Structure 1
Amino acid sequence: MAKSKVLIVGGTGYIGRRLVWASLDQGHPTYVLPETGLDIEKLQTLLSFKRRGAHLIEGSFSDPRSLVEEVRQVDVIICAMSGVYFRSHNFLMQLKLIEAVKEAGNVKRFLPSEFGTNPARMGHAIEPGRVTFDEKMKVRKAIEEAKIPFTYISTSCFASYFVGSLSRLSSLTPPKDTVYLYGDGNIKAVFLDEDDIATYTIKTIDDPRTLNKTVYLRPPENILSQRQLVGMWEKLSGRTLEKRSISAEDFLASVKGMDYAQQVGMGHFYYVFYEGCLTNFEIGEDGEEASQLYPEVQYTRMDEYQKIYA
C-alpha cells in the first residue's frame, strides 16, 4: 500500500523537526510548511530536510487560498505548533488550517498540535495553566464539527527536559548534591525520548486502529516516579543525593510571583508531578497505547538515556 503524503506544520520546531525526520525515515512523501522569516537556523533546518527529499511548500497562514491549494497535495496533516505560553495563541492558528482542510475535502487524517496531557481530561485545571487545555479543546471541537478524521497524540515528559535534570526546574543536567522532590516523589509520570515520540506519531497516521482516537504514548518501562529517576541516577553515578521535599502548597505559592508564561508552564508541571495526570487513569475504548500497537519500536529506556549524562 502506498505511503500517505504527510504535511508537517511547525516542522522546524523542537518536536516538528523530529516528526519530519521520522516521516522521511518511514518512507512517507513529506511536505513542510516553511515559516522562517529571517531565522537562519530554521532556514538551514529546512534545507537539510530538502536534501533528504522533503518538499518545501509555499502556503501561508496569511493567505487562506494558498493553504487550500497546499492541503490538496497531501493526505495527512500533522501540526507541531508551539502553544500560547511560548507565542501568541499559536494553537488557535490551527483553526485557519482546519478551514482549509474543510474546503479541500481530501485529508484523511488530521493530527492537531497536542503532544502533552490529554486536554479532555483537564477540565478541572486552574488558571492560568488551563489556558492551553482550553485552546486545544477549541481546536478539537472545530475538527470534530467539521467531521475531519483525526488522531490525537497524548504524550509524556520530554526526556531531554525531565530525565537528565531528575525533573528539577533549575537545570537540564543532574544535580551534584541535592535534589528537590515534588511531594513524596512517588507520583508516576511518563518519560520518553523525543525521537521515540516522533516515531510513534508517524506510525499512527495510516493505522485504522488509531482513526478518531486518542493515542497515549505510555511505554510501561518508562512509567516512573521522580524518586525512581533519582534512584536510577544514584546507581549509575555512584553518588547519593540529599533529598528535600516541596509540598504542593509551597509549589503553588512559588508560582504566584512568576510572569504569565512561566505560570502556565508551571501549572502543567503541577498536574504531572503532584496529581499524576499522565498516569492516574485507565485508557478507555476511545484510546490506544502506542507501545502495545507498535511493539516493534525499540523505545529508549530511561536508565539507558541517563547514561549520556554520566
Structure 2
Amino acid sequence: MGIKKKVLIVGGTGYLGKRLVKASLEQGHETYVLKRQEIGLDIEKIQMLLSFKKQGARLVNGSFDDHHSLVEAIKQVEIVICAISGVHVRSHQIHLQLKLVDAIKEAGNIKRFLPSEFGMDPSRMLDSMEPGRETFTEKMVVRKAIEDVGIPFTYVSANCFAGYFIGGLCQFGHILPATDSVVLFGDGNQKSIFVDEDDIATYTIKTMDDPRTVNKTLYLMPPANILSQREVVVIWEKLIGKELQKTCLPEEQFLNSIKGQEHALQAAMTHFYHLFYQGCLTNFEIGDNAEEACTLYPEINYTTVKDYLKRYV
C-alpha cells in the first residue's frame, strides 16, 4: 500500500467511471482507461477520453467483442476496476463483466479486481422482492465467477449515491430538492447511508491495493451520513430557512403503486422499498469478512449530506 500501481479502468466515461479516473490520477497511479471500439461516433465520450489523456491517463484499445484485445489490455496493468453501468440493461452489464473475468483469468497477472457493484451489498439482498432481486442475483453470478477462478478481489458497497438520493430528498423519481412539499416513505425514520460520488471514487482507488481489503467487501458508511429521510429533509429545511409540507406515504400504498409499472421501474421501486421502509442498509453488522472505509482511511475528509445539499441552495 502506498506504492503507485498500474490500474485499468473499464467504463471510464461513465457516471462513476470518470470520477474513478480522476481519483486514480490524483492519487498518482499509472492510470489506463479502456477505449472501447463500441464508442463509435459518440463525440462526448471521445472528447472525455482525450481529456483523460491530456491529464496523464493512457488510453488502451479494447473491445468486448474481441477477447484477445481485452487480454492484451489487461496484461499492461496490475489492477482492474470495472465501472460499467447497469442502469439501462443490467443483463448486458453482467454479460460484459463475465467476459472481463475470462480475460483476467487468461492474462494471469492481475493482483486485484474490483467489479462493478458500488451499491447495496448483493449478498445481503438475495431475499429481496422481485423484480429488484434480479440485480443482486446477477451480481452474485459475477462474484461466483471471480471466486471460482481465484482472482483476488475487493467488492465495494457504496450504498446510496448522493446525486440520486440526496438531490431529491430521497423521493423516488426526483433528483432536485423540493422547496414546498415532500413525500416521506412511511414515517421517514428508517436510516440509510449516503455517499458523495467523488468520495466513492476516492475510497475505491484507496482500497484497490490495500492488503487489508483483499478478498473482502469494503463498506462505505460515513458516520455523519447515516441518516433517515426525515433527517435529510430537516437539514435541507435549515439550509433554505423554510419548513416543507410533509406527506407520509404508507407502506401498503407504496407497494400498490409498484404494480403495473414497466419492469425496470418496478425493480427500482422495490430497491427504494427495502431502503426506506425496511432500512436494509443499517440492519446488520458488517462481519469479519469486510472492512469499513472511514475506519480504514480516516484521513479522507468525506462530503457530508449538509455540504452536499448546499450546492442546491
Length-normalised TM-score, structure 1: 0.97
Distance apart, 1:92 and its partner CA:
2.6
- 1:205 aligned partner: 208
Report the Cα distance in structure 2 between the residues aligned to 1:258 and 1:38, rounded to whole angstroms: 34
User: How far did 1:266 drift?
Assistant: 1.5
Specify which of 168, 191, 200 is matched with residue 188 of structure 1.
Answer: 191
Rounded Cα–Cα distance in structure 2 between residues aligned with 1:8 and 1:177: 42
Residue 44 of structure 1: how far off its partner (Å): 1.1
1:1-310 aligned at under 5 Å gives the runs: 2-35=3-36, 36-83=39-86, 85-86=88-89, 88-310=91-313
Structure 1 residue 110: deviation in Å?
0.4
Instruction: Measure the CA separation in 1 of the matches of 2:140 and 2:75.
Output: 25
The separation in 2 between residues aligned to 1:230 and 1:119, in whole angstroms, is 28
Q: Deviations over 1:205-236 (max 9, x none)?
A: 11100000000000111100000001111111
Q: Does the residue aligned with 1:275 lie in a helix, a strand or coil? A: coil
Deviations 1:252-276 (A, max 9, x none): 2112222111112222121111111
CA RMSD of aligned residues (A): 1.2
Q: Could you tell me which amino acid in structure 1 is paired with residue 183 of structure 2? A: Y
CA contact (8 A) 1:272 1:278 kept: yes
Amino acid at match of 1:30: T
Q: Quote the Cα distance in structure 2 between the aligned partners of 1:87 and 1:97.
A: 15
Q: Distance in 1 between matches of 2:184 and 2:16?
A: 27
Q: What is the distance in 2 between the residues matched to 1:230 and 1:38?
A: 42
Task: State the AA in 2 paired with 1:177.
Answer: D
How many residues end up aligned between the 2 structures? 310
Of residues 250-259 and 292-301 in structure 1, the stretch that sits farther from structure 2 once superposed is 250-259
Q: What amino acid does structure 2 have at the position aligned with 1:81?
A: I
Contact 2:90 2:135 in 1 (8 A): no
Contact 1:91 1:113 in 2 (8 A): no
Structure 2, unmatched stretches of 5+, are none
State how far apart, in whole Å, the 2-side matches of 1:65 and 1:103 are: 10
CA contact (8 A) 1:181 1:245 kept: yes
CA separation in 1, counterparts of 2:89 and 2:242? 36
Give the gaps of 5 or more residues in structure 1.
none
Contact 1:11 1:80 in 2 (8 A): yes
Contact 1:157 1:190 in 2 (8 A): yes
**Cα distance between partner residues in 1 of 2:95 and 2:277:** 28
Q: Contact (CA 8 Å) 1:155, 1:217: kept in 2 or not?
A: yes
Name whichever of 85-94 and 161-170 sits farther off. 85-94
Identity of aligned residues (%): 62
DSSP-derived class of the 2:277 partner: helix
Paired letter, 2:162: A
Q: Distance in 2 between the 1:265 and 1:91 partners?
A: 17
How far, CA to CA, are the matches of 1:134 and 1:110 in structure 2? 19
Counterpart secondary structure, 1:120: helix
Distance 1:215 1:127 in 2: 26
SS of the residue corresponding to residue 58 of structure 1 reads strand
